[in-house]
Amino acid sequence: MQTPIRLGLIGCGGIVQLQHLPTLLDLNEVQIAALADPITENLAKVASATGVPPDRHYADYRDMLSAGALDAALIATPHHLHAEQVIGAAAAGLAVISEKPMATSLDEARAVLAAVERHNATYSVVHNAIFTPGAIRAGELLRCGQLPAPQVGRAKSLFPMTADRHRSSPARIWRAASASGGGCIGDTAYHEIYSLETLMGSPVRYVEARVQTRFFDLDVDDVALLLLEHENGAISTVSTSWGMAGAGAGELGNLCEVHTRADCLRMVGRGTALHRLARATNEWSEIPLAVTDRNRTGHHGYLTATFDALAAGSPPPISGQMAFHNLAIIEAARMATDARRAIDLTEL
Ligand SMILES: NC(=O)c1ccc[n+]([C@@H]2O[C@H](COP(=O)([O-])OP(=O)(O)OC[C@H]3O[C@@H](n4cnc5c(N)ncnc54)[C@H](O)[C@@H]3O)[C@@H](O)[C@H]2O)c1
């Protein structure tokens, strides 16, 4: 693709302002050329950071797509809008990068993949958590043969939200509503699932789970417990909740760890810290990482790798199939809850 890549942003909210912009503004191959968001205040904030002129601001993303003069779109809107917007951008001939999840159901996700293929569009979904310093280092240790294959893993993201926090910001409101594709498994545990699967080094095949609403008066899940069996027979668990205090009394709120027949690796805070347990001495040691404000969430690494790939005409690091697989695990967890049995992903 010719550079600079003329990029249109669909959605100019929290994640764009906090994590996408600092990297996008630094990438030589990217020129932010148009902005779409129905909330004028968010549009104005991103316009002032990027210098996109007012005649390229749009309340309706469809007007931005029809105006043309773009090469790619970055979608960061509430979940229920992703499928429609990805399909629209692909039909307009753009490369499309979408925030997670790719859609709110597998039927929608299949429609996205079909549209992307029909329009021959490059498509990728933001799986930033495997680009954090901890995840990169853990992957190196596991792949370079220093550690044998993980046999058991666990990941958790347990946060003690209050009912007020669910209603205190627009982002909280849509995340806590079924109509916009909210819920803790699709929002929060989304990252734990692909992070753990990546460290385990083997795709998930069977999913047993309970996805429930136990803490808040919401129409979405606020707790999800998953038991996963991987293709190689290894097993792992994912626990996520908005209603469980997991950060007090020495207990960590977020971690992702794998146990091998030798040492164990534990990522904390989505890969901002990494620890190794030596089986021989039963002692933990911290593995040094160069964590900065820029690289701590992994968005910097993900966006850099993705736009580098677009510029080079090579496939982006996270494919639509990878995002489909992660969504399939989430959908299987819901099915397992209803059926009270394990779901084989090949059934979906
Ligand atoms: N990868 C991560 O670590 C991570 C972290 C946070 C959020 N996210 C994802 O980013 C996306 C946005 O989350 P957020 O926290 O920024 O939410 P947010 O509510 O802060 O921002 C969403 C923005 O989308 C805009 N919007 C709504 N309808 C629109 C439409 N039809 N067209 C264009 N814009 C529209 C809203 O006005 C708002 O400005 C979600 O998919 C979320 O899952 C990912």
In ligand 1, the atom with minimum distance to the C-alpha of 174 is 19
pLDDT of residue 317: 98
Distances in Å between the alpha carbon of 284 and those of 2, 83, 265, 287?
48, 44, 9, 10
Q: In what order do the strands lie in the sheet with 95-98?
A: 57-58, 30-36, 5-10, 72-75, 95-98, 123-125
Segments of the chain scoring below 70 in pLDDT? 162-169, 246-251
Q: What count of residues does the chain have?
A: 348
Best of 15, 65, 272 for a ligand 1 pocket test (most atoms within 8 Å of beta carbon): 15
List all residues whose CB is within 6 A of at least one atom of ligand 1.
10-15, 36-39, 42, 61, 76-79, 81, 99-100, 126, 128, 170-171, 187, 297
121-166 pLDDT tens trace: 999 999 999 999 999 999 999 998 889 999 999 999 988 776 666 5
129-292+328-347: CATH topology is: Dihydrodipicolinate Reductase; domain 2 (3.30.360)
- DSSP letter assigned to residue 99: P
In ligand 1, the atom with minimum distance to the C-alpha of 79 is 41
In the chain, where the domains are located: 5-125, 129-292+328-347
Nearest 5°: the CA angle 139, 204, 342 is 150
Question: Which phi and psi angles does 299 have, rounded to 5°?
Answer: -60, -40
Distances in Å between the alpha carbon of 291 and those of 128, 177, 198, 284, 305?
15, 34, 20, 20, 18
Among 198, 126, 186, 212, CA closest to 155? 198
Considering the segment(s) 5-125 as one domain, its CATH architecture is 3-Layer(aba) Sandwich (3.40)
pLDDT of residue 172: 78
Ligand 1 center from residue 76 Cα (angstroms): 4
Residue having the nearest C-alpha atom to atom 43 of ligand 1: 100
182-232 pLDDT tens trace: 999 999 999 999 999 999 999 999 999 999 999 999 999 999 999 999 999
| Tokens found for residue 288 | 């040094």
In ligand 1, the atom with minimum distance to the C-alpha of 129 is 3
